[in-house]
Amino acid sequence: MTWLNLHPLTFLVFAPTLLGFVLMALPHSLGKLSRLLGFLGALAIFILSLAWLLGHAPAAGGAILAERAPWFTLVGLPVDYALAVDGLNLWLVLLTTFLVPLTMLGTWNSLKDRLGTFAALFLLLETGMLGALVAQDLFVFYLFWEAMLIPMYFMIGIWGGDERRYAANKFFLYTLSGSLLWLVALLYLANKAGGFNPAVMAQAASALPFGVQGWLFIAFAVAFAIKVPLFPLHTWLPDAHVQAPTAGSVILAGVLLKLGGYGFIRFAIPMFPQAAMHYAKPIALLSVIAIVYGALVAMVQRDIKKLVAYSSVSHMGFVMLGLASMTVIGTQGAMLQMLNHGISTGALFLLVGMLYDRAHTRMIADFGGVAVKMPIFTTFFMIVTLSSIGLPLTNGFVGEFWILNGTFLSGFPWGRLYAILATSGVVLGAVYMLWMFMRVFWGPENKDEDSGTHHLHSDLNAREIAVMLPIVILIVWMGVHPKTFVAASEAPVTALLQEIKAPAPQVFVLKPAVHEAPEIPVSGSPAPEGPAAHEVH
Amino acid sequence: MSLTPSQWAALLPLLIPVFGACVVIFMSLDRDQTTTKWIRGAMYGTALLAVAASFWYLTDLWKAGSQPAFFQLHMDRLAQFTGIFVMVAAALTILQSWDHFHQEGWVKGETLALLLFSAVGMMLFASTTHFVVLFLGLELFSIPLYALVGTVRARPESAEGGMKYFLTGAVASSSFLMGGVLIYGMSGTFDLAAAAATLKTQGLVLDPLVLVGAALMLLGFLFKVSAVPFHQWTPDAYEASPHPIAGFMSVATKGVAFIALLRVFPGSFAPMGAVGVKMQAVVAVLAVATLVLGNLTALVQSNVKRMLAYSSISHAGYLLLGFVAGTPAAYTGVLFYLVIYLAMNMGAFGLLTAFGLVGEHTTFEDLRGLGWKRPAMGFAAAVFMLSLAGIPPLGGFYGKYMIFRELVGTGHVGLAILGVIASLVSAYYYLRLLVALFLQAPSAEAERLASDRPAVHAPLAGAAVLVCAAIVLAGGFLQYALVDGFAKRALIEGLGLIR
């Protein structure tokens, strides 16, 4: 047990891979056993992560758990095997370990063949995601970031829909293109800094001319923005989401996209603070475009899954807007919105998957009157829909509200305009989700022989309800008491933004009130303009 | 004449395979060699034994360190590195050949003898700075390869490929010879290191004849590594040759040509810095051309062997980028890259044998769905393709990482960006192979062929593939051990480039 006490993170990160290789070696005929073993293993990882991460108080440096050891020195550049869980990644790590077993359970019967291989790839993917989240050395981060592509590629390509090969290749190459250019920037900076330690690299970056810093920031930002995905780099996402099997879509939306936002807050912004400030305005503009554009495109979709995919573009636009606001409340909102989106959109994909497994169609027009046939399903779908459109008392509201608040306070020349435009995205979100809900669930039952509704014979079973219940609990919990989920990141975010704004470039006039704002009443109905307007004037 | 132990040390790694080759030739005089199993087994056993003995002896020497030169033969760490490299390639080739030639129904002893002679020539080529010995080595390894490409005489394309390779190769050899003669004419010595020193003291470094001589020698090397525009023979020769021989050519020829280039250009010609600078500019241009052309042409191939041929051209481009950077760390990266490249390319060609693809049936269509039928081979294929594309955490990534890092460090950021874009393009055609293996159901034609043919039984080729996969994985996780313990020491104690 001493090894485990010293290397808890190594165990959390690599145990799924070990199990994955065991499952891969099992013969095809034991597919069902492999699926069970994979689920139990992922569940054990979740329980362990809860016990270890929530049980430890943060140490002096802010890390809850940390490991650091020299790994190797390759032709002069040292690489540290440095892993840590701290306030910035704590909840994202837990979200990952939570979603993996949940998704396995939720898609238990969705796949018919090669169950063992699927479970194995899923576990390999978990290693990639957890490794990227906890890595504290940029080389290690890069390794996990790239390695993550491989299992996802096969998950989309083997078990996906009709266009799966195209979607898998597009996903792989698109993401790779960003990260390869980023690699060049990484190598450039590592040569200057003599290593891959983010702090040392940040120092080396600050000594470079501003133009070079800008290019390096762009290289980092593009790699992360592709993952987010930020308009106009989002075009891989609809294909990948729609073609991926349900489990792939859930994890893609739930965790992989978050890694883009996490990359910004963990690496791109702290390492190039000046460049980040400089490029915050264009990023905010692109985020606003993503919010409105994603919502408008989602509105006209005929495929429910594609609608949810475009809603992801819109929701992740909020995350980027919050990060670009460079205010504590906006950034905290972005952190929360990442978790929200992981839960709500993950749940939406699971629900769409459950519907598809029964009806074998996802076209909105094929449904109608589902509420009559599947009341329990309809209830869950309603709750998740409301959370997705940001109804107060659900998680979506708090994140979006904080982000809009932060944007309003950001001091951008057109910050308030951005906030107003982004708010229209919230309204549009309600339009496309509720319109879809109306067409699918309400109205007269679609009696057509070929229709989807006709093929719905059973409501959710106990397994599916067991999957949805924790999600509903989280939706309400995060909506009523978001502090549980953002308390950890408050100190590092505040410290980061103070450090960035210390030299105070002339463009930005700091509003002191900004730093006192994270506690926002969530119940009740504060109008967005209320407190914000007060502080600005 | 009696030889001292260190002189034996220099000679034995060369003599053992020669002896083995002679024994195999005598065995292949047996008329029944294609019908009697034991004589075939004895021939392959002898060849494998010779390679293993030489390998074992070389690893022993490696532990002892560099040996003093014997006449013009340097058994230093770099030569030992080359010897180990070539012997591993030869052993993998022999293992794959057993299965491949049985599938083709064309088991002949002379292929083994030719292979061993070629391996000896390669070691000779990479362990000398004397021009005449260098040329001897070049011809000794090239001529058997010309014959090996066309060895399956039953197939007319095979002879065509061999002839093409021979004709272009002969031109390259003669220009290499001409280059050496010019250098000799200007300096009066065949030893290239001494020639460079003489030319420097006489102030003849930038004499047009010296430049032409150096350029012609460079041309010879670039032909062997199949860099653009001297690459046209590659796809035809690979397509014509038996799979294991194509693998051997792609790996060993390229490898030793790079090592000899390293010994001659940054090594022996170090005193002629001005020539080096001019040649580096040429190499930079050709590396770019190689990357662009190799990768773009590989995209549109429908035959796996031709795709691998263009992929091998593009890998010459990455390796040449290491020469553009021209730092000791970059050369370490080149040597490391070669080790991983050996494993991934021998493995990739070995897959064709392991999957039982013979004759012309080497298109992507023929591979459809096979990954699921042979999961271990499929897994290895994924390892090779992702490593060739340079995806971490596999060995191929670290080779590119070291070369690109030195490029960026020496200010060639533009070339590094081009290099990563080339990697991106290459990922597409490597993925195509995985698409065929895993993402597509077997075609009706393939199913029919599979039912017509007896089940594929290629245990030796399969074992060779798994060994290669293990090396690629080890290159990804024990990269520092391989770099510090092997590649870097070969450079330090071979060329004295790093102190």
Residue closest to A493 by CA, chosen among A322, A377, A340: A322
Percent of chain A with pLDDT over 70: 92
Q: Mean of the pLDDT values across residues A94-100?
A: 94
Q: What is the per-residue pLDDT across A173-225, written as a single tens digit (0 to 9) for each?
A: 999 998 999 999 999 999 988 889 998 998 899 888 999 999 999 999 999 99
The CA distance from A113 to the nearest CA of chain B, in Å, is 12
Q: What is the per-residue pLDDT across A174-185, written as a single tens digit (0 to 9) for each?
A: 999 989 999 999
- CA atoms B302, B303, B306, B310: torsion sign: positive
CA distance B88 to B92: 6
> Locate tokens 């940390």: which residue?
A66
Q: Locate the domains of chain B by residue range.
A: 5-494
Residue B249 has pLDDT above 60, yes or no: yes
Residue closest to B228 by CA, chosen among B330, B173, B176, B296: B296
User: Is residue A181 a part of any domain in this protein?
Assistant: yes
Percent of chain B with pLDDT over 90: 55
Predicted confidence at residue B415, as pLDDT, reads 93
The CA distance from A225 to the nearest CA of chain B, in Å, is 18
Predicted confidence at residue B489, as pLDDT, reads 83
Q: What residue type is assigned to position A224 of the chain?
A: F
Q: Would you call B329 and A75 a contact, using CB atoms and an 8 Å cutoff? A: yes
- CA atoms B430, B432, B433, B434: torsion sign: positive
Q: What is the per-residue pLDDT across B39-55, written as a single tens digit (0 to 9) for each?
A: 888 899 999 999 999 99
Percent of chain A with pLDDT over 90: 51
Per-residue pLDDT band at B152 (split at 50, 70, 90): confident
Phi, psi dihedral angles at A82 (to 5 degrees): -120, 120
Q: Would you call B392 and A147 a contact, using CB atoms and an 8 Å cutoff? A: yes
Chain B contact probe: residue of A79, A118, A184 with most B CBs at under 10 A: A184
CA distance A487 to B304: 55
Picking from B424, B435, B438, the nearest residue to A176 by CB comes out as: B424
User: Is residue A375 a part of any domain in this protein?
Assistant: yes
Judge contact between A9 and A83, C-beta under 8 A: yes
Predicted confidence at residue A524, as pLDDT, reads 41
A and B: number of Cβ contacts within 8 A:
87
Per-residue pLDDT band at B137 (split at 50, 70, 90): very high
In chain A, whose CA is at the least distance from the CA of B334?
A75
* Structure-model confidence comparison of residues A307 and A501, the more confident one: A307
Looking at this predicted complex, what is its ipTM? 0.91
Helix (H, G, I), strand (E, B) or coil at B70: strand
Predicted confidence at residue B270, as pLDDT, reads 81
> Locate tokens 């890092």: which residue?
B405
Q: Mean of the pLDDT values across residues A258-276?
A: 92
> Locate tokens 């890998």: which residue?
B315
Mean pLDDT of chain A: 86
Q: Would you call B439 and A168 a contact, using CB atoms and an 8 Å cutoff? A: yes
CA distance B89 to B78: 16
Q: Would you call A165 and B379 a contact, using CB atoms and an 8 Å cutoff? A: no
User: Is residue A399 a part of any domain in this protein?
Assistant: yes
- CA atoms B126, B127, B133, B136: torsion sign: negative
Per-residue pLDDT band at A516 (split at 50, 70, 90): very low
Q: What is the per-residue pLDDT across A232-247, written as a single tens digit (0 to 9) for each?
A: 899 999 999 999 999 9
Q: What is the per-residue pLDDT across A417-449, written as a single tens digit (0 to 9) for each?
A: 888 888 898 999 999 999 999 998 887 887 777
Picking from A147, A165, A181, the nearest residue to B435 by CB comes out as: A165
List the single range of A188-192, A201-205, A514-518, B227-231 with lowest mean pLDDT.
A514-518
Residues of chain A neighbouring B386 (CB-CB closer than 8 A):
150
User: Is residue A265 a part of any domain in this protein?
Assistant: yes
Residues of chain B neighbouring A78 (CB-CB closer than 8 A):
none
Predicted confidence at residue A530, as pLDDT, reads 38
Alpha helices in B188-303 (DSSP H): 192-201, 208-224, 233-240, 243-248, 254-262, 273-299
A491 touches chain B (CB under 8 A): no
Burial class (CB within 10 angstroms; exposed 0-12, middle 13-18, buried 19+) of A191: middle
- DSSP for residue A79: E
Contacts of B388 (CB under 8 A, 6+ apart): B311, B315, B344, B345, B348, B396, B426, B430
Chain B residues with CB under 8 Å of a chain A CB are 329, 332-333, 372, 379, 382, 386, 391-393, 397-398, 401-402, 404-406, 408-409, 413, 416-417, 420-421, 423-424, 427-428, 431, 434-435, 438-440, 479-480, 483, 488
> Locate tokens 């950001």: which residue?
A410
Residue closest to B115 by CA, chosen among B135, B134, B133, B101: B101
CA distance A94 to A101: 12
Phi, psi dihedral angles at B4 (to 5 degrees): -80, 160
- DSSP for residue B303: B
Helix (H, G, I), strand (E, B) or coil at A322: helix
The CA distance from A374 to the nearest CA of chain B, in Å, is 35
Q: Would you call A165 and B440 a contact, using CB atoms and an 8 Å cutoff? A: yes
Predicted confidence at residue A415, as pLDDT, reads 79
Residue A155 has pLDDT above 90, yes or no: yes
Q: What residue type is assigned to position A457 of the chain?
A: H
Residue A60 has pLDDT above 70, yes or no: no
Contacts of A387 (CB under 8 A, 6+ apart): A340, A343, A344, A347, A394, A395, A396, A475, A479
The number of distinct structural domains making up chain A is: 1
Other Cβ atoms less than 10 A from the Cβ of A394: the count is 24
Helix (H, G, I), strand (E, B) or coil at B484: helix
Residues of chain A neighbouring B393 (CB-CB closer than 8 A):
143, 146-147
Residue B223 has pLDDT above 50, yes or no: yes
Phi, psi dihedral angles at B135 (to 5 degrees): -65, -40
User: Is residue A2 a part of any domain in this protein?
Assistant: no
Q: Would you call A72 and B479 a contact, using CB atoms and an 8 Å cutoff? A: yes
Helix (H, G, I), strand (E, B) or coil at A80: strand
User: Is residue A171 a part of any domain in this protein?
Assistant: yes
Predicted confidence at residue B455, as pLDDT, reads 61
HSE-CB at B278 with a 13 A cutoff on CA atoms is: 16
Q: Would you call A191 and B424 a contact, using CB atoms and an 8 Å cutoff? A: no
Residue B499 has pLDDT above 50, yes or no: no
Q: Mean of the pLDDT values across residues A247-275?
A: 92
A72 touches chain B (CB under 8 A): yes
List the single range of A4-18, A278-292, B22-36, B183-197 with lowest mean pLDDT.
B22-36
Predicted confidence at residue B300, as pLDDT, reads 92
The CA distance from B267 to the nearest CA of chain A, in Å, is 20
Burial class (CB within 10 angstroms; exposed 0-12, middle 13-18, buried 19+) of B167: exposed
Q: What is the per-residue pLDDT across B391-440, written as a single tens digit (0 to 9) for each?
A: 988 999 999 999 999 999 898 999 999 999 999 999 999 999 999 988 88
CA distance A139 to A128: 14
A22 touches chain B (CB under 8 A): no
Please state, in angstroms and as integers, the Cα–Cα distance from residue B418 to each residue in A73, B227, B404, B414, following that order. Answer: 26, 16, 10, 6
Q: What is the per-residue pLDDT across B368-405, written as a single tens digit (0 to 9) for each?
A: 888 888 888 999 999 999 999 999 889 999 999 999 99
Residue B461 has pLDDT above 70, yes or no: yes
Q: What residue type is assigned to position A54 of the chain?
A: L
Residue A532 has pLDDT above 50, yes or no: no
Highest mean pLDDT among A486-490, B104-108, B336-340: B336-340
* A96-110: burial string, b at 16+ Cβ within 10 Å, e else: bbbbbbbbbbbbbeb
Predicted confidence at residue B1, as pLDDT, reads 58
Please state, in angstroms and as integers, the Cα–Cα distance from residue A437 to each residue in A302, A384, A471, B58, following that order. Answer: 12, 11, 19, 73
Q: Mean of the pLDDT values across residues B349-374?
A: 85
In chain A, whose CA is at the least distance from the CA of B383?
A150
Q: Would you call A75 and B421 a contact, using CB atoms and an 8 Å cutoff? A: no
Residues of chain B neighbouring A121 (CB-CB closer than 8 A):
none
List the single range of A519-523, B17-21, B31-35, B467-471 with lowest mean pLDDT.
A519-523
The CA distance from A413 to the nearest CA of chain B, in Å, is 35
Per-residue pLDDT band at A498 (split at 50, 70, 90): confident
**Cis preceding-peptide flag for A151 (omega within 30 of 0):** no
Q: Would you call B420 and A153 a contact, using CB atoms and an 8 Å cutoff? A: no
Judge contact between A186 and A142, C-beta under 8 A: yes
Enclosing domain of residue A157: 7-536
- DSSP for residue A521: -
Residue closest to A85 by CA, chosen among A121, A44, A130: A130
CA distance B424 to B436: 19
Q: What is the DSSP string of B76-118?
A: SHHHHHHHHHHHHHHHHHHHHHHHHHHHHT---HHHHHHHHHH
Predicted confidence at residue A311, as pLDDT, reads 92
Chain A contact probe: residue of B334, B391, B407 with most A CBs at under 10 A: B391
Residues of chain A neighbouring B416 (CB-CB closer than 8 A):
184, 187
Predicted confidence at residue A27, as pLDDT, reads 85
- Would you tell me which residues 127-186 of chain A have a C-beta closer than 8 angstroms to some C-beta of chain B? 142-143, 146-147, 149-150, 153-154, 157-158, 164-165, 168-169, 172-173, 176-177, 180-181, 183-184
Per-residue pLDDT band at B453 (split at 50, 70, 90): low
HSE-CB at A315 with a 13 A cutoff on CA atoms is: 34
Judge contact between B283 and B324, C-beta under 8 A: yes
Predicted confidence at residue B490, as pLDDT, reads 83
User: Is residue A1 a part of any domain in this protein?
Assistant: no
List the single range of A62-66, A271-275, A420-424, B120-124 with lowest mean pLDDT.
A62-66
Q: What is the per-residue pLDDT across A354-406, written as a single tens digit (0 to 9) for each?
A: 999 888 888 888 888 888 888 899 999 999 999 998 888 888 889 899 998 88
**Cis preceding-peptide flag for A101 (omega within 30 of 0):** no
Highest mean pLDDT among A108-112, B307-311, B479-483: B307-311
Per-residue pLDDT band at A509 (split at 50, 70, 90): very low
Predicted confidence at residue B497, as pLDDT, reads 54
